Structure 1
Amino acid sequence: MNNFVFWSPTKFVFGRDTESRTGALAREFGGRKVLLVYGGGSVVRSGLLDRVKASLSASGIEWEEMGGIQPNPTDDRVYEGIELVRSRNIDMLIAVGGGSVIDTAKGIACGVPYEGDFWDFYCGKKIVEKALPVGVVLTIPAAGSEGSGNSVITKRDGLIKLSLRTESALRPKFAVMNPELTFTLPPYQTACGIVDMMVHIMERYFTNTPDVEITDRVAEGVLIAIMEEAPKVMCDPENYEARANIMWSGTLAHNGVCGTGRAEDWSSHFIEHEISAIYNVAHGAGLAVVVPAWMQYVAGVNPVKVAQFARRVMGVVSQGDDKSVAAEGIKRLKDFFMSIGMPVTFKELGIDNPDIERLVAKLHEHKGERIGGYVKLSADDTIKIYEMMQ
């Protein structure tokens, strides 16, 4: 096991009606005037935004609004938010929504106190040293951004989708998590979230670091629980207990606990980011296409951990060699994705003629000549992985 630092200071307030505590939580963490960042009309139509505003008013907190954040959030909205926060003397951001909304709020939070271009942080020119506090009222369990220091933004000029990782500066101060707020999520969006959280765990699970049995077992346990709860949620969207388990799984998948003491991979996310940047598909759906192809390719090179995943998570009991066991595990994973309505090919994703040459060129332009940790992948490797998705 490697040396590590695990930092998870977010205060999680979980359960029914917890959105009523938003104002008190904002005040607890120093908020006096906040910017409410949210997405489409669902938080308005459901009355959630009004309940959050009422909670803020009850705690004597003023607010401004910035709505309309879209999936695969873009830099133009971050610039807009930075300008608004600076001009209105706002001292906290509260994201009401899912990963795209939270990531936008984080981009604004680090951009406000910085004299340069916030994009410097995402492209690696600068390290985030300070940021405005961020709070979250979570409505979509998927990205895990409510419990992580990470953010993903797409730069419109060039369609460059990059992730930012911070140890502490961008971890939300609090996250309000009411599973009832997820009852009305469309099935496709629910399934995309399930895949996203599963892959967040897999990116940490597939490692060559030895003697990480504890985090292996934590990762395996959460993955198994997700796959047991997912059919319940898909069948009965208002099953509170199943929704609660899925919501908490999304947080545990990405708050860092599954990655402690080990080298991580992240090549599947890098490969998918180029797909969703160019074709604007749902990130979770893109991952459902990428991951089985990635697993199939790397199992041909280094099957050990893929075979362990097949045996411990996918329930493969065959005593065959690691490559054959891995192949069966990958098949079962694809079957699971399909069972919850996810695509597993480019065509099913709605991309009939993917520009693989462009995808590969952009991937290695943004992430370097070789990507990943479990198996180092060159452009010759990633072109084969993209081709396996067809």
Structure 2
Amino acid sequence: MENFQYVNPTKLIFGRNQVNDSLAGEVEAYGTRVLLVYGGGSIKKNGLYELVLEQLNLISNVQIVELSGVEPNPRLSTVNKGIQLIKENQLDFILAVGGGSVIDCAKAISVGAHYDGDVWDFVTGKAAPSSSIPLGTILTMAATGSEMNGNSVITNWDERDKRAFSSIHTYPKFSILDPQNTFSIPADQTVYGIVDLMSHVLEQYFHVSENAPVQERFGESILKTTIETAPKLLESPESYAYREVIMLNATFALNNMLSMGVKTDWATHMIEHAVSAVHDIPHGGGLAILFPHWMELVSETKPERVAQLGIRVFELDPANKNTRELAYETIQKLKEFWKTIGAPTKLSDYGIDNKEIDLMVKRSIVNKTIGNYVPLGENEVRQILERAL
């Protein structure tokens, strides 16, 4: 295990009716001039928008400015709109109501509002945030874990580039997680969230550090619980019991607890970011397609962890099978599970062919290689993309 320090400053407020019980007091502790950030309008259809306004208006002298229409792959142009609204109206708090895309956009706005340069500098690593506008969230989709981490993924559509950055300054001050607010999520979005949370676990499960049984067993428990619960949830989408399990799983999958003391991978996410930067597909859909092909490639040289996953999570019988056979069977089980719940299986499901594969490879390779479990160069990334077509 590697040496590590762990800090997570986000206050998690979980359970029924927590918007009613907690929102006004939590916001008022940080400010009264609020930028309300949300997506395409689903919160207006399910009543959450009205509830949020009602609670915010309990704050004395509150001022609310809205930024709506955040894209599923949030764009730099939208981030810049939010920064402009903050500065023009001298706002002192950001409330993000939505899923990971809305929260990621709000995070970039929060640090960009305190920066005189281009906020894209933070995304590309040319600069690092030193302060931010305080941010709170109300989660409406279980997927990214953005409600309890400092990560943000932003798309520069003009450059057809999509990248992630992280900072202690982009952790939400609080996040309200009421599973009832996920009841109206469409089935395909629920599936994408399930794939995303499982992929987050896998990116950390395939680490390169020694002696990390706690981290591995914790990740396996999240995967097993998700595999058990997901089909039931899709059959009963308004089940509070199933929604709360998936919601908490998604939070634990990426609040940095699984990465304590280990060097993680993240190559598949970087490849998917490149694909969705060029083709604007759903992130979870892209991961469902790409992750099994990444596992196939790395199993050619390091099948041991893949085989372990199969034995412990998919309960494969190791008798009379070698490690590579177990790894292959594990990958087939993962493919089968994701296909069964309705996830896509190939890039052509989104109309993607090999015409822009060179650009996707280029956008994937931020450094000379990506990933740690098996470092990948351009040739390996190309193989994964070609297999995924």
- TM (norm. structure 2) is 0.97
- Contact between 1:286 and 1:349, CA under 8 Å: does it hold in 2? no
One-letter identity of the residue aligned with 2:138: V
1:351 offset after TM fit, Å? Answer: 2.1
Q: What SS is found at the alignment partner of 1:90?
A: coil
Q: What SS is found at the alignment partner of 2:271?
A: helix
1:352 offset after TM fit, Å? Answer: 4.2
1:339 equivalent in structure 2: 340
| Structure 1 unmatched runs, 5+ | none
Which digits, 9 at most, give the CA deviation of each residue in 1:301-336, with x for residues without a partner? 111111111111121112311111010000000000
Q: Separation in 1 of the partners of 2:275 and 2:355? A: 9
Which digits, 9 at most, give the CA deviation of each residue in 1:79-98, with x for residues without a partner? 11101101101001000000
1:45 offset after TM fit, Å? Answer: 1.7
- Contact between 2:354 and 2:386, CA under 8 Å: does it hold in 1? no
Which digits, 9 at most, give the CA deviation of each residue in 1:86-117, with x for residues without a partner? 11010010000001100110011000111111
1:292 equivalent in structure 2: 292
Q: What SS is found at the alignment partner of 1:348?
A: helix
2:207 equivalent in structure 1: 207
1:24 offset after TM fit, Å? Answer: 1.2
2:86 equivalent in structure 1: 85
- Contact between 2:97 and 2:140, CA under 8 Å: does it hold in 1? yes
Q: Separation in 2 of the partners of 1:128 and 1:65? A: 24
Q: What SS is found at the alignment partner of 1:58?
A: coil
1:170-319 equivalence runs, <5 A: 170-319=170-319
- Contact between 2:32 and 2:59, CA under 8 Å: does it hold in 1? no
Which digits, 9 at most, give the CA deviation of each residue in 1:337-373, with x for residues without a partner? 0011001111223324453222112222xx1121101
Q: Separation in 2 of the partners of 1:189 and 1:11? A: 26
| Structure 2 unmatched runs, 5+ | none
Q: Separation in 1 of the partners of 2:7 and 2:316? A: 35
One-letter identity of the residue aligned with 2:382: I
Q: What SS is found at the alignment partner of 2:6?
A: coil
One-letter identity of the residue aligned with 2:114: P
- Contact between 1:128 and 1:169, CA under 8 Å: does it hold in 2? yes
Q: Separation in 2 of the partners of 1:125 and 1:208? A: 27
- Contact between 1:131 and 1:170, CA under 8 Å: does it hold in 2? yes
1:370 equivalent in structure 2: 369
One-letter identity of the residue aligned with 2:386: E
Q: What SS is found at the alignment partner of 1:78?
A: helix
Q: Separation in 1 of the partners of 2:134 and 2:254? A: 19
- Contact between 1:196 and 1:284, CA under 8 Å: does it hold in 2? yes
One-letter identity of the residue aligned with 2:312: R
Q: Separation in 2 of the partners of 1:317 and 1:259? A: 28
1:18 equivalent in structure 2: 18
1:33 offset after TM fit, Å? Answer: 1.0
Q: What SS is found at the alignment partner of 1:141?
A: coil
1:68-217 equivalence runs, <5 A: 68-166=69-167, 168-217=168-217
Q: What SS is found at the alignment partner of 2:175?
A: strand
Q: Separation in 2 of the partners of 1:92 and 1:41? A: 21
The percent of aligned pairs where both chains have the same amino acid is 39
The structure-2 alpha-carbon separation of the partners of 1:3 and 1:286, relative to structure 1 and needing over 3 Å to count, comes to: same
Q: What SS is found at the alignment partner of 1:135?
A: strand
Q: Separation in 2 of the partners of 1:82 and 1:369? A: 33
- Contact between 1:161 and 1:277, CA under 8 Å: does it hold in 2? yes
Stretch of structure 1 that moved more, 40-49 or 72-81: 40-49
One-letter identity of the residue aligned with 1:92: F
1:55 equivalent in structure 2: 55
Q: What SS is found at the alignment partner of 1:302?
A: coil
- Contact between 1:151 and 1:165, CA under 8 Å: does it hold in 2? yes
Structural RMSD (CA)? 1.1
Q: Separation in 1 of the partners of 2:200 and 2:81? A: 30
Q: Separation in 1 of the partners of 2:97 and 2:294? A: 33
The structure-2 alpha-carbon separation of the partners of 1:354 and 1:248, relative to structure 1 and needing over 3 Å to count, comes to: farther
1:300 offset after TM fit, Å? Answer: 0.5
- Contact between 1:207 and 1:305, CA under 8 Å: does it hold in 2? no
Q: Separation in 2 of the partners of 1:218 and 1:241? A: 21
Number of equivalences: 386
Which digits, 9 at most, give the CA deviation of each residue in 1:4-30, with x for residues without a partner? 1211111111111111121111113x1
1:314-333 equivalence runs, <5 A: 314-319=314-319, 320-333=321-334
One-letter identity of the residue aligned with 1:17: N
Q: What SS is found at the alignment partner of 2:146?
A: coil
Q: Separation in 1 of the partners of 2:207 and 2:179? A: 32
Which digits, 9 at most, give the CA deviation of each residue in 1:38-67, with x for residues without a partner? 001111122211111111111223211110
- TM (norm. structure 1) is 0.97
Q: What SS is found at the alignment partner of 2:191?
A: helix
Stretch of structure 1 that moved more, 151-160 or 56-65: 56-65
Q: Separation in 1 of the partners of 2:224 and 2:352? A: 30
Q: What SS is found at the alignment partner of 1:4?
A: coil
1:35 equivalent in structure 2: 35
Q: Separation in 2 of the partners of 1:220 and 1:44? A: 37
One-letter identity of the residue aligned with 2:298: V
